[in-house]
Amino acid sequence: MAHPRNVLLGAQGAAGLLPVCDHYSGVEARMVKSLQLQAEMMEEFGACVFDVTLDCEDGAPVGGEVDHANMVVALANTAQAAPDLIANVVPRRVGARLHAVDHPAFASDVQIVLGGAAKALSYIMVPKVESIADVERAVAAIDAAAWGVRSTPVPLHVLIESPAAVQQAFEIAAHPRVESISFGLMDFVSSHGGAIPASAMGVRAAGDMDSFDQFHHPLVLRAKTDISSACHAYGKVPSHCVVTEFKDTAILQRAARMASQALGYTRMWSIHPDQIRPILEAFSPSTEEVEQASDIVLQAQKQEWAPIAVRGKLHDRASYRYFWQVLERAHQTGRNMPNAVQAYFSAPVH
Q: Counting runs of H as helices and runs of E as strands, what totals does the chain give?
A: 15, 10
Distance CA 77, CA 82 (A): 9
Q: Is 187 annotated as a binding residue?
A: yes
Q: From residue 334, give the alpha-carbon distance in Å to each of 40, 44, 316.
A: 13, 9, 27
Judged by DSSP in three states, 239 sits in: strand
Specify the 3-state DSSP secondary structure of 192. Answer: coil
**Start-to-end CA span in the chain (Å):** 9
- Contact in structure between 94 and 54 (CB atoms under 8 Å): yes
Cα–Cα distance for residue pair 111/99, rounded to 1 Å: 12
Question: How far is it, in rounded angstroms, from Cα 146 to Cα 123?
Answer: 12
What's the chain's Rg over C-alpha atoms?
A: 20
Under 8 Å between Cβ of 124 and 142: yes
Nearest to 125 by CA among 25, 202, 45, 206: 25
Q: Are 180 and 239 within 8 A, CB to CB?
A: yes
Whether residue 161 is annotated as binding a ligand: the answer is: yes
Q: Which residues are annotated as a binding site for substrate?
A: 97, 161
Q: Which residues are annotated as a binding site for Mg(2+)?
A: 161, 187
Q: Which residues are annotated as a binding site?
A: 97, 161, 187
